Amino acid sequence: MNLEKLRLQRKLGYLSGKEAGIIQQFKDERDSLFHMGGLLFPNLSDPDKNRLVDLAIASADVAHALFDRLFNP
């Protein structure tokens, strides 16, 4: 989800600031890995892997919650 979509979802009230922040934090972290020459997940330290996986899970949880709010009122 890009920044414009996040802003729109917040403006429409579908995402809280905290939820949008979780997604943005994961996106920033993911993007920083690709700027280092590619996603080298096996080369990350265990704490970095755990942090990235935790952010991915949290972002997916936000996406699922958004879907539920939109399609299961």
Q: What are the structural domain ranges in the chain?
A: 3-71
* Predicted local confidence at residue 41, as pLDDT: 59
* Predicted local confidence at residue 17, as pLDDT: 92
Kindly state the DSSP code that residue 1 receives in the 8-state scheme: -
Q: 65, 19 in Cβ contact below 8 A?
A: yes
> Average pLDDT for residues 27-54, to the nearest whole number?
73
- The answer to whether residue 65 scores a pLDDT higher than 70 is yes
Q: Give percent above pLDDT 70 in the chain.
A: 85
Tell me the whole-structure pTM to 2 decimals.
0.64
Residues 6+ apart with CB under 8 A from 49: 41
pLDDT band at 42 (very low <50, low <70, confident <90, very high): low
